[in-house]
Amino acid sequence: MNIYRNFIRTIAVVTALSCITACSDFLDEEDASNFTTDTYFTTAEHAKSAVNGIYQPLISITESGFGGGPWLMLEFATGLANTSLGQATNIYLVKDLINNSDNGYGNSFWTGYYSGISRANLAIEKIPEINMDETVKQKYLAEAKFLRAYYYFGLVRMFGNIPIITNSVDLGSEQLYPQQSSPEAVYDLIVSDLKEAENAGLPWKNESGRVSMGAIKTLLADVYLTMAGHPLQKTENFALAAAKAKEVIDSGEFRLFDTYDELHDPATKNTGEYIFMTQYAANIQSGNWQPAILPYNLGISAYSSQTGGIFATNEFASSYEVGDKRAEEKQFYFTSYSLEADRNNSINLGAPYIYKLFDIEANEASAQSDLNWSIYRYADVLLMYAEAQNEAEGAPSTDAYSAVNLIRQRAEINDLAGLSQGDFRTAVRIEQVHELSFENQTWYDMVRWRKAYDPEANTLEEFVGHNFSYLTNKALSDRELLFPIPTSEMQNNPNLAQNTGY
């Protein structure tokens, strides 16, 4: 636990290093007390500090307040979320299919993830020059390459044709105004980084929260599965995705939690089901999405901000199978809670709020969340394997059934059995929507499938032309397959072309 908290503390304070540029000639006289990129990278501690800084942009995405938070963008784009936060313009731009390039959420993803890429590039460039233990050096480089791959994976799925930057950039760099690259070129870099990271000898698990072999192979499985779908449609990658997910399963290092309560228990972070998470620690770097998942000013929480930023639509919360434990009160969702002023009295919340992300201790006492944000958990791997194997082999195998049925057994619903390839495909996809709800996964899946989930019919239908349950006069179009490149980037870089429809 001390190692974990020290890691979080270091991430929280490592910010200045990422802002260093090669502008040492700005003043005629150099201050010997100032670090530059040429003088800083001299010890193993410098390498560690640089790599710690690459994790920081993960934190900025979940920040939430009365303006909402960037992570909400991916949830409202599914049509399965609702809000009572009237002043959060960015939410309504996405939710009501009127999005534009001024959306602050998209800008946060773009700038945050490219900041992470910049930090990773600097580490990958400078760490090899440091005289230090070679094994440790390779592990730091593996972390940097994993994180660079993760950030590029998010950007290419959200924005499509994006610039590839692999070197540190200063005011004299040729890449100061980079050209856009094709998604295929971005994926080639991602796969290359992850394959190199696989060879660094990282442990399968790391309870401090650092990148592990399990995280690398899980991300690689997800990348292969995405490449097999739209827009690349490299269907040969289904087999690669299945094989990589199976490596994670066969490692025996991960397991499903026995109860859903463990999904939002701070004591379980970086253990059991969790493979990779954004790291938080109460009173150091508190988990900061709690205000967004609380009903607007109903007085159920110790937090002064209770924004009503996001909750499930009634249609989605009701779309789970009869008897599905995830749909029961205080499993994945909750519709009533005790009052902060009197815990013996409860209030109806008026909507299904997201209990799977709810920190009980923080809301009832401290207003300092110790929860981590889940990026990958074992349930995701099981579902990736089931989907990829079915596609690769033309029919579901015994192992594919076993993978998805582990998730259904925990939900206390009947096993899948005797399905055709097409019926199994649909069943697994709906399972993904239900199991991974509100974990920033569903929109990515919908885009690679080119399918949207209809909660009222419990079916998947064509993405283009799909109507959200709350919008009767507007349907998804091709433009919603990507988000717009932020206005500030379009203005700053004349080499960028805006995505179609924005």
Token pair listed for 248: 């994670």
Higher per-residue pLDDT: 31 or 495: 495
Is the pLDDT score of 170 beyond 90? no
pLDDT in tens, 107-138: 999 999 999 999 999 999 999 999 999 999 99
Kindly report the backbone phi and psi dihedral angles of residue 89, in degrees, each rounded to the nearest multiple of 5, phi listed first: -55, -40
Higher per-residue pLDDT: 32 or 292: 292
Nearest CA-CA partner of 436 in 387, 363, 367, 368: 387
Q: How far is CA 500 from CA 339, 481, 482, in A?
A: 48, 10, 9
pLDDT in tens, 146-157: 999 999 999 999
pLDDT in tens, 331-359: 999 999 999 999 999 999 999 999 999 99
Instruction: Say what percent of the chain tops pLDDT 70.
Output: 91
pLDDT value, residue 25: 33
Q: Could you count the other beta carbons within 10 Å of the beta carbon of residue 302?
A: 15
Confidence band of 303 (pLDDT split at 50, 70, 90): very high
Mean pLDDT on 75-91? 95
What residue type is 130 in one-letter code?
I
Cβ-proximal residues to 479 (8 Å cutoff; 6+ apart), any chain: 499, 500, 501, 502
User: Could you tell me if 499 and 482 are in contact, meaning their C-beta atoms sit under 8 angstroms apart?
Assistant: yes
Kindly report the backbone phi and psi dihedral angles of residue 323, in degrees, each rounded to the nearest multiple of 5, phi listed first: 90, 0
User: Could you tell me if 51 and 140 are in contact, meaning their C-beta atoms sit under 8 angstroms apart?
Assistant: yes
- Mean pLDDT for the chain? 93
User: Using a CB cutoff of 8 Å and minimum separation of 24, what contacts does 249-254 make?
Assistant: 249/381, 249/382, 249/385, 249/403, 251/204, 251/213, 251/214, 253/204, 253/205, 253/214, 254/205, 254/214, 254/378, 254/381
Is the pLDDT score of 496 beyond 90? yes
Confidence band of 24 (pLDDT split at 50, 70, 90): very low
Burial of residue 299 (number of CB atoms within 10 Å: 0-12, 13-18, 19+): middle
Q: Residue length, the chain?
A: 502
Spatial separation of the C-alpha atoms in residues 457 and 443, rounded to whole Å: 19
Mean pLDDT on 375-381? 98
What residue type is 24 in one-letter code?
S
Is the pLDDT score of 241 beyond 90? yes
> Angle 443-448-450 (CA atoms, 0-180°, nearest 5)?
85
Residue recorded with tokens 């540029």: 21
pLDDT in tens, 395-432: 999 999 999 999 999 999 999 999 999 999 999 999 99
User: What is the DSSP annotation of 381-441?
Assistant: HHHHHHHHHHHHHSS--HHHHHHHHHHHHHTT-PPP-S--HHHHHHHHHHHHHHHTTTSS-
Instruction: Say what percent of the chain tops pLDDT 90.
Output: 87
User: Could you tell me if 110 and 73 are in contact, meaning their C-beta atoms sit under 8 angstroms apart?
Assistant: no
Token pair listed for 484: 């717009």
Q: Could you count the other beta carbons within 10 Å of the beta carbon of residue 206?
A: 19
pLDDT value, residue 65: 84
Q: How far is CA 311 from CA 83, 183, 352, in A?
A: 6, 33, 6
Confidence band of 176 (pLDDT split at 50, 70, 90): confident
Residue recorded with tokens 């207003």: 367
